[in-house]
Amino acid sequence: MKLLTFSLLCLTALASQAHASSPDAWAAYDKTVLASCTKASGLKDVKPVGTPAQFDDRVGYTAVLLQGQYPQKHMKGQQGTELCLYNKKSKTAFITEWDSIRPSAKAQ
């Protein structure tokens, strides 16, 4: 019985270590996500707003809110907002405009 208990404790310890990530590993992951999202963005001088939203592994995505300027001449340097969803499995960034998250000029 003692051997079984000891074995279960060892397995539990190993399982918890496999799921834990170091701060350096998270920083490297965040850097990869930001680089992928920035590259996929259509905005100029794009920067993240806040920190990435880490979804559960069952969802498989990290979300990043980005802001920058529209590069098209007719937009006259207007600021834009995009939402980037980074797929953890495929390591691919998907971008959509999300200007509606900002208050409209009329509301300000």
SS (H, E, C) 11-80: HHHHHHHHHCCCHHHHHHHHHHHHHHHHHHCCCEEEEEEEEEEECCCCCCEEEEEEEEECCCHHHCCCEE
Each residue's pLDDT expressed in tens, for the chain with a length of 108 residues: 544 333 333 434 433 344 568 999 999 999 999 999 999 999 999 999 999 999 999 999 999 999 999 999 999 999 999 999 999 999 999 999 999 987 765 555
The predicted pLDDT at position 13 comes to 42
Residue 60 tokens read as 């498989």
CB 94 within 8 A of CB 87: yes
The predicted pLDDT at position 32 comes to 97
The predicted pLDDT at position 102 comes to 76
pTM of the predicted model as reported, rounded to 2 decimal places:
0.75
